[in-house]
Every structure is written in C-alpha cells, then in structure tokens.
Amino acid sequence: MSLTLFIEQILNGLQFGVMLFLMAAGLTLIFGVMGLINLAHGSLFMVGAFACAAVAAATGSFWLGLIASLAAAAAAGALVEILVIRRLYERDHLDQVLATFALILIFSEGTRWVFGSFPLYLDIPQLLSGAVHLPAARSTQYTVSR
C-alpha cells in the first residue's frame, strides 16, 4: 500500500467519522433543546434536492436551483412545524416518533407523485466540479543490504 493511498484512506475515515459525529450531535442537540424527536428532517433535504434539480432543469441555472432548494425546504419545514410538530411538543415520545415517521412516508410518496419514480440529474457547475488533489507523497527508495 502506498503512502498516498494510506493518507487518502485516513482522510476518508476522518471525513466519515466527522459526518457521523455531526449527525449524532445534531440529533442530540435538537432533541435536547426542543425536547422533540423528529425523524422527518431528512425529508426536508429531499424536498430541497428535488426542487433544486427541477428548477435547474427548467432554467438551466444551478444557482437558481440552489435558491429554489433553500426556499422549498424552508417552506416545507415551516408547514411541517405549523401543521404537525406544534401538536407533538406535549405528547409522548412514541407519538412523536410515529408522527414524524408518517411524515417521512408522506414526503416520500408525495415526491414520487410529483416528480415520478425516475431519478433527476443535475449538472454541477464548473466552479464546483473537479477533483481535490492531495500533495504527492515523496517516494523513498529503500535498499536491502545483505
């Protein structure tokens, strides 16, 4: 195994660990501060992603799609808060889990109904595309003495 591959794998593991930590810390923080178990927060990301892909396909602009994704996710989040979440604050945790899991199913089937079952593709702008190059590791020659 080369040193470059080893460094890449270390960075991949570090990135994955940080991502898991951020998700766990976010859930802990939200549950600790709000006292609510919301399993449907990922559905808001899905709404934003589909809105971005649809607007970018319609207009040809990734940046307009990005703005639309923020607006769609914020609007969906506000509607969920007003219509569902406010009723759950004083309820049991099991009721919160069941209601927010139902929201996951509703959002999933709603996006399938609106956008269909096929994937939407999005062209990444030139500014955000490309690889990140790591500095090349120095290769050292080792000689074996007999």
Q: Kindly report the CA angle at 83 between 29 and 94, in degrees rounded to 5?
A: 55
Q: What is the CA radius of gyration of the chain?
A: 22
Determine the average pLDDT of the residues in 44-64.
94
Which pLDDT tens digit goes with each residue over 62-107?
999 999 999 999 999 999 999 999 999 889 889 998 999 999 999 9
Token couple for 118: 């096929």
Its pTM surpasses 0.75: no
- Predicted confidence at residue 20, as pLDDT, reads 93
Residue 1 in this model has a pLDDT that exceeds 60:
yes
Those residues whose C-beta lies under 8 Å from the C-beta of residue 49, and which sit 6 or more positions away, are: 69
Residues 114 and 116: their CA atoms lie apart, in Å, by: 6
Which pLDDT tens digit goes with each residue over 108-129?
999 999 999 888 888 888 888 8
Which pLDDT tens digit goes with each residue over 13-46?
999 999 999 888 877 877 777 778 888 888 999 9
- Please report, for the chain, the start and end positions of each structural domain, with discontinuous segments joined by +: 40-116
